[in-house]
Amino acid sequence: MLKIHLVGHTHDYPLCDVVRLLTGIIPRCTDGCITVETEWEATIRSEVTESEVLTALENGPETSILGQKLLRTSLDGERTVDGLPISRALKIQLYTLLSELLEKTFPWGSLTGIRPTQVARELSRPEEMTRIYGVREDKAKLAFLTRDGEDQVLMHTDPNHLHVYIGIPFCPTRCAYCSFIAQEAPNKRELLPSYVDAMLEEMDRVLPTITRKIETLYIGGGTPTVLDDELFTRFIHGVFAHEAFQHLKEVCVEAGRPDTITHRKLEVLLEVGVTRICINPQTLCDATLLRVGRKHTAADFEKAFELARSMGFTVINTDLIAGLPGESAEEFCESLSRIVELAPENITVHSLSKKRRSDLSREEIVRQEKTDLLKMEKMLSFAFETLSEAGYVPYYLYKQKDTIGGHENVGYQKDGTPCIYNVAMMSDARSVLSFGAGGMSKRVYPEGESIRVERCSCIKDPIQYIQNVQNMAEKKIAFFKEEGTEND
């Protein structure tokens, strides 16, 4: 068992992230002690005193070449470590100690629970990210390159404007890797009209109270196009009947599953002025698609893509996932090459992540992690090099817990077509109003050179959402109420 005793501080959450990264096991923390069930024994002391931050290996595996090891750094007058918060200093020390103990490193070093581009904004050069946080050189350069792309997008958005998300948490089938709250629509057909009615009611109640200008709208899921043609038409027309959505800078709709796309649904989107959509195959290997539970083929994706392009959609995003079960590096690279030939304006490359809600067990993916790390490296390196050569640049980047090899998700764009909403939402630099079950609204408050973010959650279960939509609407009205105004 690994035990980490916290002395003089309560920064258990960030340290648990480091332990989870390096052991692949979710730790427990009780009474100031983090514990992880491991096959080896080790005890670590993580301590903050009046003058320093220290991490000490008090005993370790008999095979450890470290013996007793102590990392310590002095606190300055501002109670920081070379300008870093105490929590980050503790994470760096613990990551350094455990990575040596386990002879294991990760491409993003000790960066957990914080966006790499945010850290890049705090530093001057990629080399500093490598030196301070142990980030691999190529990842540090990627963080700085993506930071510049994000900043370009944020420069052209007003900090006082609002961005809106509408969520349809239903899909035709549930993918094996999915961790979202999405439910299988064929089993919930009778629920879909009521869910649409509830969302439209929530918008009817909330939008008239919003005084800020709404800059972008993103309709996601799940799969919004899982609604049949008639219900989808009613939903889209109901959304765009609101004056708040008449002068948007950007609208994006996820038509993620090719098997849900019809000529009529695309026609409806064009009728209301939507020309930016997502069509997401995740892979163009039919064997992998079958293996992960997606009931469409690569040919279905290509047919849907060509239909959307022929009808006049000018910005199309496609998603691919690196590390899907049983897929070889060659199959992933082939998928990406075929996508590039279609020339979508945006391509998002995800790294498979092990999630509690997914049908893939943590054990399945951890085993894959142990055997296929080099394969993941080949996939992601090929993606960056191929997309760069084709004129794509990264414009947003985020990391998730439990991603194979500790890798990242990156959105690429070309010809100045970034999705503004993605940057606004991922950067935590802009306020977002979410409608629908499971949506997370947030308000951003500038505080000097930093910002404070407050969040407002919504019921995740669609049935409970429908039953409580009035309460959810009132909650959001109060959350977004501006100081000095009264809502009826």
Rounded Cα–Cα distance for residues 467 and 195 (Å): 10
Q: Which residues contact 427 (CB under 8 A, 6 or more apart)?
A: 115, 117, 118, 150, 154, 396
Q: Which residues contact 217 (CB under 8 A, 6 or more apart)?
A: 163, 164, 165, 166, 239, 245, 248, 250, 251, 252, 421
User: Which among 26, 6, 47 is positioned nearest to 401, based on CA atoms?
Assistant: 26
Query: Do 424 and 418 meet the contact criterion of CB atoms below 8 Å apart?
Result: no
Count other Cβ atoms within 10 Å, centred on residue 343: 13
Q: With the C-alpha atoms ordered 461, 463, 468, 474, is the resulting torsion angle positive or negative?
A: positive
3-state secondary structure 323-350: CCCCCCHHHHHHHHHHHHHHCCCEEEEE
Tokens of 383: 């993606």
| H helix runs in 312-454, sequence order | 329-342, 362-389, 420-426
* pLDDT attached to residue 175: 63
Rounded Cα–Cα distance for residues 262 and 249 (Å): 26
Tokens of 361: 């067990």
Tokens of 413: 């764009």
Tokens of 473: 């609407």
Name the 3-class secondary structure at 351: strand
What are the pLDDT digits (tens) for 184-222? 545 567 899 999 999 999 999 999 999 999 999 999 988
Four-CA torsion 338, 339, 344, 350, nearest 10 degrees: -160
CATH node for 2-104: 3.30.160
Name the 3-class secondary structure at 456: strand
Residues of the chain with pLDDT under 70: 62-68, 174-188, 354-371, 483-488
* pLDDT attached to residue 450: 78
Query: Do 409 and 98 meet the contact criterion of CB atoms below 8 Å apart?
Result: no
| Angstrom distances, CA of residue 232 to CA of 412, 443, 454 | 29, 30, 32
* pLDDT attached to residue 24: 85
Rounded Cα–Cα distance for residues 146 and 134 (Å): 19
Name the 3-class secondary structure at 18: helix
CATH number assigned to the domain with residue range 156-472, chosen from the 4 options 3.20.20.70, 3.30.70.20, 3.40.50.300, 3.30.750.200: 3.30.750.200
* pLDDT attached to residue 218: 98
* Residue 482, Ramachandran bin (φ over 0: left; ψ between -120 and 50: alpha; else beta): beta
The residues with which 450 forms a beta bridge, in sequence order, are: 447
Sheet holding 250-254, edge to edge: 393-398, 409-413, 346-351, 315-322, 276-278, 250-254, 214-221, 162-168, 431-435, 440-447, 450-457
* DSSP3 helix / strand / coil % (the chain, rounded to 5): 40, 25, 35
DSSP string, 207-238: GGG--SPEEEEEEEES-GGGS-HHHHHHHHHH
* pLDDT attached to residue 487: 44
Q: Which residues contact 147 (CB under 8 A, 6 or more apart)?
A: 117, 120, 121
User: Which among 304, 306, 253, 312 is positioned nearest to 281, based on CA atoms?
Assistant: 304
Write down the residue that tokens 């629509």 correspond to.
Answer: 185
Query: Do 207 and 200 meet the contact criterion of CB atoms below 8 Å apart?
Result: no
What are the pLDDT digits (tens) for 17-41? 999 999 888 899 999 999 999 888 9
| H helix runs in 390-437, sequence order | 420-426
Rounded Cα–Cα distance for residues 129 and 92 (Å): 12
> Where do the domains of the chain lie?
2-104, 156-472
* pLDDT attached to residue 355: 58
Name the 3-class secondary structure at 305: helix
